Chain A
């Protein structure tokens, strides 16, 4: 479960989600003026980006784990 996608068609570049994210996972792409995802593995699934987005552009995946499996020990 983590943030999966921000629809660039729907994103209006307001930046609210950037401030809603306590983990600094969402950034503004200064060139494109759109919100983008970085380090999705740090997402803690509080979901505030979804709640606070005025355009319903943010999608959270129901998957529990990330696709890459690298385990230690």
Chain B
């Protein structure tokens, strides 16, 4: 027992499931889906509809698992909906000026075009499964954002109508029922641990995966002609606390530990954008969307200061917007806008915002903190859309915010919601206020800016037989992007599986993985997984925080290696639950190394990646207008590069439409 385990060791509950470490189960499928979140479910449904036998593997219950498991309230880039005034090509203009960007949910050109082409179709898919995507109960008749004919409701840009407000709290159960209806093989509570490759050699065709049941400890060998990696971006690499839990510790699903990244890395797939990470306040944030703010779900709520003085809204040209209605319309001459676009987006697509010099005006006393979200002054439809339609259906805001606040007596018709007091600079447009502010060494790799596998127009990774979808894709993100890339990857993986040869599993590769997986339950260790994770996170904070340099990164790599060789080799697990948590730490250890290697390879600073090298302080030098790629090869890290817009360069066609038509599989 370690010092840490001693006080709680006594309270470890008795294990309720029969444990059979090492007992092997073999599953065969045409298409194997690793990760049963939004992307994985759509991939599985589309593969099954094309006649493939499908197996979905998820660490949790697929009914509610994944980053999108708790629901969705707005559906991005649904530009093919009958009310939308722009087409996919026009929407793609926003990505042109990205240059050094290619971040955020509007990230990569391939995923963004797939999103624009199929977003509305994917929405119609989930509508057929029983998700409410229209105002069928006529609750918002007459609202500015409602189309009376289709009953579709729009968010943000009411003029152009490219983003749809939906009531998607139950999207995951609907997908789960569809998987059941299609007789998809569901392998729940199984954590995928490694990819299997032809001949047992990394870099070869991927022919399946291994997994361990987090309840029984049994081992699984999945044999598949094609594999879709739809695991999420890694979270929880920098910040860990044994005291703070639940939503108090992070926004994303804590199951997202980067297992997919670690698996594909060891199988020697190419990765990119891994050096990107964002500031984060960890357990010191507020429940997402849980304080007064004007962002995202709360767009475009009136904000007043402590004396009730209204903070003006302006359009992209700085013109003060006099009415609430104007905040939901493009500026004069503007084709359309994106709500709260990330840095790097061409300014012609920026939407209405609070006055940009708000930090200065707070400093000089013009506005007095704290601020309040003035819901009562908003038009009734907007008020009910923000605190109801949106907060009531978005991610994890429904229970801790909408339900908890309502139960506590909060009434949006009468009450203002206070915004958390922040340093003046934090009131600028980018960065939701509820995230608060953390010290510079606290980062998060996920949500936006996420690094992941390199992929092509087939959503195929650099490895034959391995496809990727959702947040596993570098630059991927958002619910609709997960759904659309899931559909697409499901089609492509099926097409490949229909022609691919029968996979032959290499016994030695399986046996070696079994030794690795069960080591924590076989050894008499003296370090618990929380202690191990605390060490990994502290190393990331100290050597891979906001400011990085050659020396600190190399030192960080040495420390991670030292943790792997000593502490990780002494970590024990007393049951399958702890085994899964321990294996997650090993994934995070690998992802930490990937981040440090990518950071070392990127010898310049980058604004879009929130990446600062002390030894290369110049921000965005032209010679670094490219993607840095990394790959493991026989134990060595190989660094490469890809040009921005690689998706429109040979051997690809020069236009999005041609590439899509050539590859989409429809």
Contacts and interface: CB of A to CB of B under 8 A. Distances in A.
- State yes or no: do A and B come from one complex: yes
Interface of A: 1-2, 18-24, 27-30, 36, 38-48, 50-51, 60, 62, 64-66, 68-73
Given A23-B254, A68-B7, A47 B399 contact: yes
A62 to B, nearest CB: 7
Nearest to A48: B64
Given A45-B400, A47-B396, A65-B244, A22 B215 contact: no
B255 interface: yes
Given A22-B253, A30-B16, A68-B7, 15 more contacts: A19-B63, A20-B64, A21-B64, A24-B61, A36-B16, A39-B13, A43-B246, A44-B245, A45-B245, A46-B399, A68-B243, A69-B243, A70-B4, A70-B7, A71-B242
12 contacts: A21-B60, A22-B69, A24-B214, A29-B16, A44-B249, A45-B246, A45-B396, A48-B64, A48-B70, A51-B398, A70-B4, A72-B538
Contacts of A38: 13, 16, 577
A64 B457 CA distance: 45
Given A22-B253, A23-B254, A36-B16, A1 B400 contact: yes
A60 B403 CA distance: 12
Given A45-B399, A45-B400, A50-B399, A72 B63 contact: no
A2 B245 contact: yes
B534 interface: yes
Contacts of B61: 18-22, 24
Given A21-B64, A22-B253, A72-B534, A43 B400 contact: no
Nearest to A51: B399
Contact of A71 (B16, B215, B241): B241
B16 A42 contact: no
B254 A44 contact: yes
Closest 5 CB pairs of A and B: A47-B399, A45-B246, A72-B534, A22-B60, A65-B243
Given A20-B64, A46-B69, A46-B399, A71 B243 contact: yes
Contacts of B242: 41, 66, 68-72
Interface string B32-63: 00000000000000000000000000001101
Contact of B248 (A1, A23, A39): A1
Contacts of A62: 404
Chain A interface helix/strand/loop/mixed: loop
Given A71-B241, A73-B534, A46 B16 contact: no
B241 A19 contact: no
A42 B399 CA distance: 17
Contacts of A66: 242-243, 245
B245 A22 contact: no
B666 interface: no
Contacts of B244: 64-65
Q: Which of B4, B63, B189, B404 has the most chain A CB within a 10 Å cutoff?
A: B63
B531 interface: yes
A72 B61 CA distance: 32
A27 B61 CA distance: 12
A12 B519 CA distance: 39
Contact of B577 (A18, A24, A40, A73): A24
Given A29-B16, A62-B404, A72-B531, A41 B245 contact: yes
Interface string B225-252: 0000000000000000111111111000
Given A38-B577, A44-B247, A23 B16 contact: no
B130 to A, nearest CB: 16
B65 interface: yes
